[in-house]
Structures are given as structure tokens and as C-alpha cells.
Amino acid sequence: MFSDCPICKARQKMEVTTKTEKIPYFGEIMESTLLCHECGYKHADTICIEKKDPVKYVLLIGKDNLNARVVKSQSTTMTIPELGLKVEPGPQSQGYVSNVEGVLDRFEKAVKTALSWTEDQQSRENAVKIMKFIDEVKNGNKKVTLILEDPFGHSIIIHENAQKTELTQDEIKRLKTGFLTFENEELEYE
């Protein structure tokens, strides 16, 4: 199928391809690719399309379970409350499969990025403390709680000590999904 390019405005020059397939843990997904044959613009995306029950996973993490598998969908909110860290989904949020150590590495990278942007001394000191704390967790000297909340149920922590519960309606209402259509309460339907 061909469409108009949103970048260069060339008419019927953007090739749109989609396909669906089943992926372990995620379920049925749709992969889409947009490619403009005029300007070269390209965009690829993967969306979970299988409906599952809203889910929350909680795991106390330390050195002994850094290898626990983590499947994070694009609609998941991830929190480490002891560090005040929270990653909420947005329109460009992507899913991934990693392990707990990989998740800690991603949090650490985000804190380093924030550290490079701020000039506020207190914020810099807090960022350094968080990075040191993450290192202590990786070295087995401290433990923290990893929480995954997914209103679409596509995420999982695969470990015998991971606690799985269904999200309540109140918990679901306060979560962002990354899909703006579902989050705009100002929209009125007639």
C-alpha cells in the first residue's frame, strides 16, 4: 500500500507494510514499516495487539536475581521506589526483553543523561547517589524493588520470587499507556 509522505509531502510515495505474528510473552504483534521512496524517510514500529489482563509484577532485586528475565511492553510503567525512579510510557515508548541487570543499566543511563543536562548542585548530588546505589545493588550490597505495571498485560518478570497481581481499576486509571488517544480525558464523545 502507498500513502502520502508526512515529511516531504510527496503523493503516494510512502510504502506502508504491515505484518502480524506471535512472539513469546508478548502474544500477537503487528509490525509496521513506513518508507518514503522520494525523501528516504523511514519509520518502523511494533505494537502488541493481543488483549490480556492488566498486570503488576513486583520483585525484590539483589545480586542473586540480576539475571531474572524482564519483558517490558511499550505500555509499561517501571518503578524503583527506593531510588525515586519511575519510567512511564510515552508515544515513542518501545518494548524490549532484557534481564534485571539490563533494566538497572537503562535506569543508570537515564540518570547519567539527566546528570549531563542539569546544572543544579542538589540534582547533581542526587544523581550521583542514585548511580552509587545502583552499583551497590549490582554488587549485592543493597536491594531494591522493581515494579512493572502494565494496563494491557503484555509485560512479565520471569523469576520464582516475582509477585504477580492483577491491577485494580484505580491503579489502571492512574497509569499512562503511551497511547495519547486513551489518555486525553478532555475528549468528549457524543
Alpha helices in the chain (DSSP H): 100-117, 121-138, 169-174, 180-183
What is the pTM (predicted TM-score) of this model? 0.75
Would you give the distance in Å from CA 65 to the centre of its chain?
20
The pLDDT of residue 27 is: 77
pLDDT tens-digit series, residues 109-132: 999 988 888 888 988 899 999 999
Would you give the distance in Å from CA 29 to the centre of its chain?
16
Average pLDDT over residues 8-28: 88
